[in-house]
Structure 1
Amino acid sequence: MKDYQNNRAMTGIIGIPEAVHQINKLQIAKVSCLRNRQVS
Structure 2
Amino acid sequence: MVSQPLAIALVVAVNVRSWHASWGIDGKVFSDIMASGDLTL
With the length of structure 1 as denominator, give the TM-score of the two structures. Answer: 0.47
Higher RCO (Cα < 8 Å, 6 or more apart) = 2
Rg bigger for which structure?
1
**Higher helix proportion:** 1
With the length of structure 2 as denominator, give the TM-score of the two structures. Answer: 0.47
